[in-house]
Amino acid sequence: MAINSLFYALVVVGWFHCCASALFGSPSTAVFPLHRQQQEFTANSSPAKPSLKVRKSYGKVTVQSNCGETIQISDTGQKICVKSTKSNGWGKDPDIISCEGIFGVYKLPSGSFLAIIKRADTVLDVPLPGLKMIKEILLVKIPSVSSRHVHPEWVNETHVGSEQAQAEAALMNAFQQHAFYYTDSDYDLTRTYQSNMLHPSKPAEDSRVDWTQVEEKFCWNMNAAAPFLEANCTSFVTPIVNAYIAATNITHNQKPYQFTLISRRSRRRQGPRYGQ
């Protein structure tokens, strides 16, 4: 019976492998005993990444972690500036929006926008600590230096031109059509399971992942997160992958095992194109 179960699981995982390879490229597969896997990852995991608060104010966007670390984001017209600052306490400001994290910064026809992760659901059936799937992203306008006299507004409250509306719709559609994942632990999703075990991430004290070890071709917010990396504000952003992730349990010789498949799509090669 155990052999039949093992064969069935191999067939299922093989099917996942073929489908994922066709869609996303070469997958990363790991097989390990359940109890051993839990020990390895739990021991190497950091506490949950702090949630963030975003506030709109004149001339800038301010982001604060629940640890008190605060940054200000502004648009000079030439580049996006990110700098650490001191928090004076926000009280019960009605303009504050809580979020799970920051995806990055995007340039649209009407200016620069901060993409924040408004909602992300924890993936419970895959044994990776803090694995989350992004469910909702919100765009926040970053005011430019030339328009500081104008009170910044959230995207869904702003009257924009047709070009802005089309660009915003295309960006939001891309967010919705892809499966984006990240972790709240020090497990680096851009690298394979084997690479994480052989070369564990050694993040800075205020960060979750060592960005110097991130495999760029699988990090879909690498360019969008550039302003934060250049300012050394890595605790506010985390590497995000576009992937197919699945797991299946089996029992062999009365020992539980789990097959986990993480098939990452490269941001440089998104798959075949078909034409008439």
Is there a domain that residue 273 lies in? no
Confidence of residue 23 (pLDDT cuts 50, 70, 90): very low
What's the pTM?
A: 0.74
Is there a domain that residue 271 lies in? no
Domain count, the chain: 1
The pLDDT score that the predictor gives to residue 77 is 81
Is there a domain that residue 274 lies in? no
Q: pLDDT per residue over 160-200, tens digit each?
A: 578 888 999 999 998 998 999 999 888 899 999 889 889 88
In DSSP terms, which residues pair with 244 in a beta bridge?
263
Confidence of residue 14 (pLDDT cuts 50, 70, 90): very low
Provide the sign of the torsion angle of the four alpha carbons 185, 83, 137, 25, taken in this order: negative
pLDDT mean over 199-208: 71
Instruction: Strands of the chain (E only): list them.
Output: 28-33, 52-57, 60-65, 70-75, 80-85, 97-99, 101-108, 111-122, 131-142, 180-183, 241-252, 255-264
* CB distance 121 to 270 below 8 Å: no
In DSSP terms, which residues pair with 132 in a beta bridge?
122, 182
Residue 91: CA count within 13 A, CB half-sphere: 4
pLDDT mean over 23-45: 38
Is there a domain that residue 185 lies in? yes
**Separation CA 241–CA 232 (nearest Å):** 21
**Separation CA 82–CA 62 (nearest Å):** 10
CA angle 239/260/50 to nearest 5° reads 35
pLDDT mean over 252-257: 89
Is there a domain that residue 202 lies in? yes
Is there a domain that residue 215 lies in? yes
pLDDT mean over 89-118: 86
Is there a domain that residue 275 lies in? no
Residue 44 has pLDDT above 90, yes or no: no
Q: Strand order of the sheet with strand 52-57?
A: 80-85, 70-75, 60-65, 52-57, 97-99
Task: Pick the closest to residue 100 from 75, 131, 73 (CA basis).
Answer: 131
Confidence of residue 240 (pLDDT cuts 50, 70, 90): very high
| 13 vs 164, residue with greater confidence | 164
The pLDDT score that the predictor gives to residue 88 is 65
Average pLDDT, the chain: 76
**Separation CA 88–CA 228 (nearest Å):** 22
Of 36-40, 67-71, 179-183, highest mean pLDDT:
179-183
Confidence of residue 82 (pLDDT cuts 50, 70, 90): very high
Boundaries of domain holding 149: 2-264
pLDDT above 90 as % of the chain: 33
Is there a domain that residue 6 lies in? yes
